[in-house]
Amino acid sequence: MSFIVDRVIPALNDGLIMSLALIVPSSTIGFVLGVCTGVARVFGPRWLRSLGNAFTTLFRGVPLVVQLMILYFGLPNLGIYLEPYAASVIGFILCTGAYQSEYVRGALLSIKQGQIKAASALGFTRLQTILWIVAPQAARRALPGCGNEIIYLIKYSSLAYVISCIELTGEAKILVSRTFRPTEVYLAAGVYYLVMVSAATWILHKLEERFAVPGFCGAKK
């Protein structure tokens, strides 16, 4: 027991702080990037739509580990040197943004054309229609998917240790190599992730409840 209290918890707490420092900016900035990209892919001019589509295809198509390795080990060949932390955050933002944009795009496209016509017929401009009719509905439809993506991000943030950004998984791995007690250490690390994911799930659930509207997904019938 004292092994857990004296060695495991302090090490994992350090790792937890680094994990949170990766997850919080990556998920928020990634979400904003996803919303912008999703909107651009639906409402943007032709060139912007193509750009958004290309971005999404690229970052959804290449495994995240490979993206991180390119950022950290590949870019120096082009004279760009990134700290492990910066490379991780950039990789996570780009990857999660690409996935988020897919949910946002789907949600935007699900808004019935008839409502857009009705808004135009009332005198709404295109921008007003997007702002007051399309966006509020799209946000509700995108919320479950975007929430799931944030939960994935919590878990795939563990990949940062591959490019020597020592977060929760990295700390656990180092501790195991010193103590040779993988069972306790990795189980404890698993509990840390489980707690983070549960907390995120609970917050997202509250958000969905707060914005629930009859007839939308997530709403009580």
Task: List contacts with other proteins (CB under 8 A).
Answer: 112, 114-115, 117-125, 128, 132-133, 136-137, 140, 213-216
Residue whose tokens read 């959804």 = 60
Residue 160: CB atoms within 10 Å: 28
If the CB atoms of residues 45 and 61 are measured against other proteins, the closer one turns out to be 45
Paired tokens of 66: 């490979």
**Tokens for 64?**
């995240």
Smallest gap, in angstroms, from Cβ of residue 187 to other proteins?
44
> In terms of CB distance, is 69 or 116 closer to other proteins?
116
Q: How far is the CB of 127 from other proteins (least distance, A)?
A: 10
DSSP-based helix, strand, coil % in the chain, nearest 5: 85, 0, 15
Q: How far is the CB of 217 from other proteins (least distance, A)?
A: 12
Task: Say if residues 163 and 72 touch (Cβ distance below 8 Å).
Answer: yes
Helix (H, G, I), strand (E, B) or coil at 108: helix
Instruction: Closer to other proteins by CB, 22 or 133: give it.
Output: 133
Nearer to other proteins by Cβ, of 50 and 125: the residue is 125
Shortest separation between residue 218's beta carbon and other proteins, angstroms = 12
Q: Smallest distance from the beta carbon of 120 to other proteins, in angstroms?
A: 6
**Half-sphere exposure of residue 179, counting CA atoms within 13 Å on the CB side?**
18
Nearer to other proteins, 105 or 141 (CB): 141
The angle subtended at Cα 134 by Cα 136 and Cα 90, nearest 5°, is 75
- Eight-class DSSP state of 62: S
CA trace torsion 118, 121, 126, 129 (10° rounding): -40
Min CB(46)–other proteins separation in Å:
20
Residue whose CB is less far from other proteins, 187 or 219: 219
